[in-house]
Structure 1
């Protein structure tokens, strides 16, 4: 399953909120430095979908806030 997300780094508490278009807004407390925010997004998605972190793969958007993940 492919999931389109918009990341919000440096947030107060990690959470996931869907919007009206099916995109998930993922809020993480990590800064967007050295892949720390991407790793935090993977952890948040793994908890949300109740899957291991190893099954989540970043397809596109490594340095963008608009990302596409495969679960």
Structure 2
């Protein structure tokens, strides 16, 4: 399991991982920041990029904020650095 800090930008033109912003990974999603849509899009994007099921990506803090922390099961820190 790995913890990952995120800086999320909802309402973007497309879903993408924009790169590192300090110690956080910047993620852009096209979903709006309402009713958990952006959070669901972030989870789906990370799961697809890391090759894990969505159920293995858990939002642990920042549900209503741009700065979030997720835990990802089935991925090591080395896997994370190599893939992202």
- What are structure 1's unaligned runs of at least 5 residues? none
Q: Could you say what the CA RMSD is over the residues aligned between the two structures, in angstroms?
A: 1.0
Matches within 5 A, 1:17-36: 17-19=18-20, 21-36=22-37
1:18 Cα deviation from its structure 2 partner = 2.0
Given the superposition, is the C-alpha separation of residues 12 and 51 from structure 1 closer, same or farther in structure 2, using an over 3 Å criterion?
same
Q: Could you tell me how far apart the structure 2 residues matched to 1:51 and 1:16 are?
A: 16
**SS of corresponding position for 1:19:** strand
Please give the TM-score of this superposition, normalised by the length of structure 1.
Answer: 0.94
- What are structure 2's unaligned runs of at least 5 residues? 73-84
Task: Give 1:63's aligned residue.
Answer: 64
The structure with the largest alpha-carbon Rg is: 2
The number of equivalent residue pairs is 71
Please give the TM-score of this superposition, normalised by the length of structure 2.
Answer: 0.80
Query: Hey, which of these two has a bigger chunk of helix by percent?
Result: 2
